[in-house]
Amino acid sequence: MSTKGKKWTRKDRKWTEEIMNFVKSVCPLREHGFSSRRELAEEINRRFCREFTDRALCTHCYDNGIQLGLCNSNSDVPRGEKHWRHRPVGSFQEKKGYIRIKVAEPNKWMQYQRYVWEQNHPGQSAEGKTVIFMDGNIRNFDPSNLECVERAELSVMAELGCTAACTKEERELYLLRARLLLAKSTILGAKEAAKRHNKMNYERRKNDPEFKAKCAAYAKQRMAEIMADPVRHQEYLEKQRAYREKNRERINQWANERRAYLKENEPDKYMAKLLKERARHKKEGKRND
C-alpha cells in the first residue's frame, strides 16, 4: 500500500506516537547532527516509510509542545558559518527611501541620521524622538543639518503648515513656533493655550487689510441678495429688531445690577453717578424744548 501524501489521522495514532518519540529523542536537532528541519522530515520519511513535509512536521510538533531547537528558517547553512546574506556591523542599506546602518549583531539597524546625531551629541539619545533634515534633503547628513525633535513638535509643525518643500530657515521658524506653543500648553494648560492661540489668530486676521476687504465684499454681496428678496428682507429686519431688543434688555439688566451694587457697597460713587445722570437728562430736556 502506497503511503505517498498520507496525513496524520486517528488511525495512525501508533505511528504518530512512534514518530513523536523519535522526534523527542533527537531534540535539540543541532546537537544530534541535524542542521535543518527539512533533514529531520527526510529522516522520518526514510525510517517510517512516510512522505511528510517539513511544514507538516513543524505544525504537529508545535501542537504537541515539542521544541525542535532551530530557527524558523530551513537554511542548510552549517552551524558556526555565516549566511551569504549576512552583513557586518557598519554596513548600509536603504529602506523606504532612508539610509540605515547596522550598529550591532545579530540584526540591529538604525537610521543613519539618528546615528550621526547621537555621535555628535554624546550622552544623549534620540530614542522615542525623530531626527529631521532641516533643509529637506534626506541625503545631507551634515551634523548642522540634523535636528532632534519630539513627535509632538513634529505634529504641531505640520499643523502650522510645514511641508517637505520648506527651506531650512522656514523650517527653523516652524520649529520655534511649535516649541513655543507646546511650552504654553505645558504652563497654561491645553484649553487655555488653545483659547489664547485662537484669540491671537482672530486678532491677527481681523487687523489684516486683505481679510477686512474680503469680509466687506462678502457682507455687501449677502446684503444685496437679501434686499433683492422682499420675504428674506422682512425676516432679516425682524431678526435685527429682536436682537436689538434682547441686547437692550441685557444692557438694562446689567445697569440695574450695577446700580444696586453701588447703592449698597459704594454710596458715594452711586450718588455721583446719580447726579451725573440727572444733569444729563436735564440737559437733554432743554435741548429738546
Q: Which of 64-68, 73-77, 99-103 is predicted least confidently?
A: 73-77
Is pLDDT at 112 greater than 90 in this prediction?
Answer: yes
C-alpha cell at 25: 529523542
- Check residue 5 and give its pLDDT: 46
Contact 178, 157 (CB under 8 A): yes
- pLDDT tens digit string along 169-218? 999 999 999 998 899 888 988 888 888 878 877 888 888 888 889 889 99
Q: Which long-range contacts (C-beta less than 8 Å, at least 24 apart) are formed by 115-120? A: 116/141, 116/143, 116/146, 117/143, 117/146, 117/148, 120/146
Give the other-Cβ count within 10 Å of 220's Cβ.
10
- Check residue 250 and give its pLDDT: 94
Q: Decide which of 133 and 284 is more confident.
A: 133
DSSP three-state, residue 104: strand
Percent of the chain with pLDDT over 70: 88
> d(Cα 121, Cα 41) in Å, to the nearest integer?
53
Q: What one-character DSSP code corresponds to residue 31?
A: G
Contact 44, 25 (CB under 8 A): no
- Check residue 110 and give its pLDDT: 93
Q: What one-character DSSP code corresponds to residue 72?
A: S
Total-model pTM: 0.48
- pLDDT tens digit string along 134-145? 999 999 999 999
- pLDDT tens digit string along 25-42? 888 777 777 778 888 888
The sign one gets for the Cα dihedral 115, 158, 95, 139 is negative
Q: 50 falls in which pLDDT band (50, 70, 90)?
A: confident
Give the other-Cβ count within 10 Å of 146's Cβ.
19
DSSP three-state, residue 44: helix
Is pLDDT at 115 greater than 90 in this prediction?
Answer: yes
- Check residue 78 and give its pLDDT: 62
Mean pLDDT (whole number) for 67-80 = 59
The position carrying cell 498520507 is 6
Query: What does the mean pLDDT of the chain come to?
Result: 84
